[in-house]
A = this chain, B = another copy of it.
Amino acid sequence: MVDLKTQEEARLNKALELLHFGFRAITSHPDERLAALGYSRVHHRILYFIGRHPDSSINGLLEVMRVSKQYLHRPLKRLVNDAYVSMRTDPRDRRSKRLKLTAKGARLEASLTGEQRRQLAEAFRRAGPEAEQGWRQVMALIAGEQS
């Protein structure tokens, strides 16, 4: 009686652990590489979001990243200085600036998330297409449940 409930709970606990350790395994690699370059996770997030939303303004980037202007400022400035990100005044509204990855920035970003894609692709390859399909379905349902 109790056993059924306990067993089901143990299965779900196992799934929770898989999620935690899987997430950690995927995120730990880039963290180390970034650290080696003297950057931190914010820098990666900035590269990631600019890569996926090119031509964003600063305000636009702030919104998708959900951090404060003051916090974004330093790392973004550094990325611009190091020529990973280009910042150009918008000709139609000279108050705002448009952000893009430079070729150098795109290479770095690709190499960082590239490691993550490699890990995922390897797991998908070994598990097979049906397992991948199931994984995507379940993850989409989890992610879709709003907080």
Which residues from chain A sit less than 8 Å from chain B, CB to CB?
8-9, 12-13, 15-16, 18-19, 21-26, 28-29, 32, 52, 113, 116-117, 119-124, 126-127, 130-147
Contact = CB atoms under 8 A, between A and B. Distances in A.
Nearest to A110: B9
Contact of A141 (B28, B127, B145, B147): B127
Interface of A (DSSP majority class): helix
Given A15-B124, A25-B146, A123-B141, 16 more contacts: A8-B121, A15-B136, A16-B120, A18-B140, A19-B139, A22-B143, A23-B23, A25-B147, A28-B147, A29-B147, A122-B145, A124-B138, A127-B134, A130-B134, A132-B134, A134-B135
Nearest to A113: B16
Report the 8 A-B pairs with minimum CB-CB distance, sorted nearest first.
Answer: A134-B134, A131-B134, A123-B141, A21-B143, A18-B139, A135-B138, A12-B117, A22-B142
